[in-house]
Structure 1
Amino acid sequence: MSKNNAMPGFMLNAVGHYVPESMVEPIDKQRDQLVKELLSKATDVKSALVEFKNSAFADIAAFIELSAEEYNTKVGGKKGNVTLYSFDGQYKVQFAVAEKIKFDERLQVAKNLIDECIKAWSEGSSPEIQVLVQSAFETDKEGNLNHGRILSLRRYAIKDERWQRAMLAISESIQVVGSKQYVRFYQRREGTDQYDAISLDFASV
């Protein structure tokens, strides 16, 4: 018998046993009913958000194509990084494509070169610089690298030849492995030129 189809007069518990309803406390029945009602509504809201998201992406893509037709041209490739404003400037919609990147084996080459630099500089460089560089390669609890911290190392104007080769290795190790589309909505704050995001995050409303 399916867990979703309990026998009449029984309730299925968390370990898969059928318990006579007469043996279930009223408060437990009410809790069960409340949780299932809320989950049903949450599922409906999620479905509506997915439908809206897909519709928004399609509508924006269609508008970009329509705008391009005004100039007898077509927009090739992936659409992205577009901001659309309402005529009165009160609202804007931002559509963006964020690339997902990974580093290949050359990142380890870069790390080895940086370690050589740190070792050579140990007597003359400040501890803060050493900690900053080393922390760029620390991983989170899931073992993932912080891409932003690694890429930020390229901003330092360090002339050491090994450092320069390390930065080249970092740049060449970057691999684009996918992309993700985002759409965000904003409303202008009254009397200003600042825009506030219209949050669709359940925790933020």
Structure 2
Amino acid sequence: METKNSPKTKKTADRTKTDANGQSIPISIIRPEILKQDVIVNKTIERAKKLQERIIKDKAKLFEEVELYLEEVAQKNGLEWKGNAILNSFDGQNRVEIRFKERIQFGIELQLAKQKIDECLKAWSADSNVNLRAIISEAFQVDKKGEIAKYRILRLRRYNIKDTIWKQAMELIDAAIQVVSTKQYITFYEKDESGQSRQIVLNFSTL
């Protein structure tokens, strides 16, 4: 018969779990359903992490296979492969697309470009294109987070305005662009019975 202070009883009493506040709570006072939930959540997360690791490895292999093929084709023509690609199966039923998306930020040259653009707006007559003036003025407006919409800045370079100061401003915008990272995307498509291309969805939450 075990006494009150027997080793087995003491070991059970000493067992604790840390809660969300960092407090050590004796397991003996935690409800069984909460303990079961804890086990299920942690086991599920471990399985999800292993699945994630496998997906990352498989994604890298898929990219490697496609990129090796693209490099091989380019090298046969004395070139180096750069940019996006669309590959189709011989029967046209399957398609693989690779895209590269660059994340950019602007350097200090952007502020200098804004000064040049402000000079242009002041110099241009009041009866010049009102819509264009509005687009240019809005380009440097910031959102609630205090950030500038990059697409608005980049859009300014499309306008062929014959003004020396404007051209200087566009050159400064070009100089301000800094690529901070590049993300690769690979997507897969197959045609269904109706002949429509459908993406093979790999997003876990939509399956």
TM-score norm. by structure 1 comes to 0.75
1:101 pairs with 101, 104, 109, which one?
Answer: 104
SS in 1 for 2:127: coil
Identity of aligned residues (%): 36
Q: Which residue of 2 aligns with 1:58?
A: 64
Q: Deviations over 1:67-125 (max 9, x none)?
A: 457x4x6653x654122111211111112333343333221111112223334458436
> Does the 8 Å CA contact 2:103/2:181 hold for their aligned counterparts?
yes
In the superposition, relative to structure 1, how do residues 50 and 104 fare at CA in structure 2: closer, same or farther (>3 Å)?
A: same
1:202 pairs with 188, 193, 204, which one?
Answer: 204
SS in 1 for 2:102: strand
Q: Which residue of 1 aligns with 2:32?
A: 26
- Higher mean alpha-carbon deviation, 112-121 vs 122-131, is at 122-131
The aligned runs of 1:155-194 (5 Å cut-off) are: 155-192=158-195, 194=196
In the superposition, relative to structure 1, how do residues 54 and 190 fare at CA in structure 2: closer, same or farther (>3 Å)?
A: same
Structure 2 gap ranges (5+)? 1-12
Q: Which residue of 1 aligns with 2:88?
A: 85
Structure 1 gap ranges (5+)? 1-6
The CA RMSD over aligned residues, in Å, is: 3.1
In the superposition, relative to structure 1, how do residues 126 and 197 fare at CA in structure 2: closer, same or farther (>3 Å)?
A: same
CA distance in 2, matches of 1:138, 1:107: 13
SS in 2 for 1:148: helix
| 1:151 lines up with 2:160 in the alignment | no
Shift of 1:46: 1.0
| 1:43 lines up with 2:56 in the alignment | no
> Does the 8 Å CA contact 1:137/1:150 hold for their aligned counterparts?
yes
Partner AA of 1:57 in structure 2: F
Partner AA of 2:31 in structure 1: E
In the superposition, relative to structure 1, how do residues 122 and 36 fare at CA in structure 2: closer, same or farther (>3 Å)?
A: farther
SS in 1 for 2:114: helix
CA distance in 2, matches of 1:143, 1:48: 39
In the superposition, relative to structure 1, how do residues 199 and 134 fare at CA in structure 2: closer, same or farther (>3 Å)?
A: farther
> Does the 8 Å CA contact 1:83/1:95 hold for their aligned counterparts?
yes
Shift of 1:164: 2.9
> Does the 8 Å CA contact 2:101/2:183 hold for their aligned counterparts?
yes
1:10 pairs with 16, 20, 27, which one?
Answer: 16
